[in-house]
Amino acid sequence: MAEVRVAVLGGSGWMGKVHTMAYQTFPHFLGTSGGTARVVALVESNPNAAADLAFRAPGAKILNAWQDAVNDPDIDLIDICLPDNLHYEVTKAALLAGKHVYCEKPLADTAAQARELADIAKARGLITRVGHAFPRNPVHDLAREIIAAGEIGQIKLFKACQHVDMYGDPLAPYMWRADANLAPTGIVGDTGTHVFSFMDFLVGRVSSLIADNFIVTHRRPVVTGLGYGEQAVLTGTETWSDVTNPDGSNILCKFVNGARGLIDFSRVATGRKFLQTYEVYGTKGSLSYTYDEVNRLRLYTNEDAVGRRGFREIDVGPENETFRAFLPLPNFALGYNESKIIEAAEVIRSITTGQALWPTFEAGHHICQIVDACMESSRLGAWVSIA
């Protein structure tokens, strides 16, 4: 199958736009040897938004109901960019209809659901992928190579955070992300899963954790038509909705390989537009990353002479094949959208070659186990083990 026929569900949302662009763009940079994709259907339930969709994927069907895409025999891949609460139901229906599935994070509301999805896909030999795009920036392949080569020794401590301020302002309007019916685990499934994906990619499985989830602002005005973090101008006539899922969490964890983790994330860090960092401390050295310098790692190694030791800046550049496909010079920066382009290319290559690539639903399941453990631990106020 050289050309994969794709339906993008939630076509006019943020991720729907990015995924649709990514399928059309990846051959330009990454070539066609791993196959190509054609977006043949865009599904959008919001009629106002759907009216604008036709130009995004010329010739694609514009559908209102996701079931029509899932049951269409002329579609190979179902790409789910819908709110979190729909991921499980739609993914399951798509797998049972024999489709490959690329689902945005979090894969499901619970680890049990994620396990079921991974098992169905395995039994049917279908390709799966979860949209944990951030680690697909080539800079993180470099981090993984450095760790795998033993350059920083045995990992002892992993520290990471991800903060935004979309809900820093108490008057920022209510959205589906704050509704436990639509996003049952709140920031833990939304942002925590990004940090957990770095943990899975760089360190390994988590064996236990203790989490303190919290809500900062308990009610928000319902005001439509505003972007992330915009302040509502109140008229006094709006309704107010309860925030029913966590705004943030602080977590201690232990990894199966003996490393310890210290993780925090939130949507209420006033002033932090997007703070994403990790630090990996090993017995021979360490690595440090911040999204503010999106293609740069800092490496410290005990191999350097005493008196000359310090963090060395390494920019991933054209010596990396994936980076070179986009840019001929280092430090011109590959950002978020390029990570999604790389991800889309990998999804298509997996389908055409039959070789699944991380993060499949197996990784998605472990990440959902971590989410489950955070919710349970915070409720109990105790450490929780992960099988």
Ligand X SMILES: NC(=O)c1ccc[n+]([C@@H]2O[C@H](COP(=O)([O-])OP(=O)(O)OC[C@H]3O[C@@H](n4cnc5c(N)ncnc54)[C@H](O)[C@@H]3O)[C@@H](O)[C@H]2O)c1
Chain residues in the site for ligand X (CB under 6 A): 9-10, 12-16, 43-46, 49, 66, 81-84, 86, 104-105, 131, 133, 190
Least Å from the CB of residue 331 to ligand X: 23
Nearest approach in angstroms of CB 66 to ligand X is 5
Q: How far is it, in rounded angstroms, from Cα 91 to Cα 108?
A: 9
Q: CB of residue 282 vs ligand X: minimum separation in angstroms?
A: 28
**Strand positions, DSSP E, 44-137:** 61-63, 77-80, 100-103, 128-130
Tell the smallest beta-carbon distance from residue 315 to ligand X (Å).
23
Tokens 């399941």 sit on residue: 365
To the nearest whole angstrom, how small is the minimum distance from the Cβ of residue 370 to ligand X? 16
**Based on CB atoms, which residue is closest to ligand X, 179 or 190?**
190
The set of long-range contacts for 144-149, using a CB threshold of 8 Å and a minimum separation of 24, is 144/201, 144/202, 146/287, 146/297, 146/299, 147/202, 147/280, 147/282, 147/287
The nearer residue to ligand X, 49 or 357, going by C-beta atoms, is 49
Comparing CA positions, the residue from 370, 375, 109, 369 lying closest to residue 246 is 375
Name the residue whose CB lies closest to ligand X.
Answer: 13
**H-state helical runs in 327-381:** 336-353, 361-380
- Closer residue to ligand X, CB minimum distance, 12 or 110: 12
Q: Which is nearer to ligand X, 311 or 336 (CB)?
A: 336
Nearer to ligand X, 47 or 310 (CB): 47
Distance CA 43, CA 9 (A): 5
Query: Residue holding tokens 């279908």?
Result: 126
| Cα 341 to Cα 58: distance, rounded to the nearest angstrom | 19
When the beta carbons of 130 and 373 are compared against ligand X, the nearer one is: 130
Tell me how far apart the alpha carbons of residues 355 and 328 are, in angstroms, rounded to a whole number.
Answer: 29
Pairing of strands 206-214, 384-385: antiparallel
Nearer to ligand X, 162 or 286 (CB): 162
**Residue 208 CB coordination number (10 Å):** 15
Q: Which is nearer to ligand X, 48 or 237 (CB)?
A: 48
Burial class (CB in 10 A: 0-12, 13-18, 19+), 176: exposed
Nearest approach, Cβ of 171 to ligand X (angstroms)? 20
For the bound state, the minimum distance from the C-beta of residue 19 to ligand X, rounded and expressed in Å, comes to: 9
CB of 137 to ligand X, least distance (A): 12
User: What number of CA atoms fall less than 13 Å from residue 35's CA on the CB side?
Assistant: 21
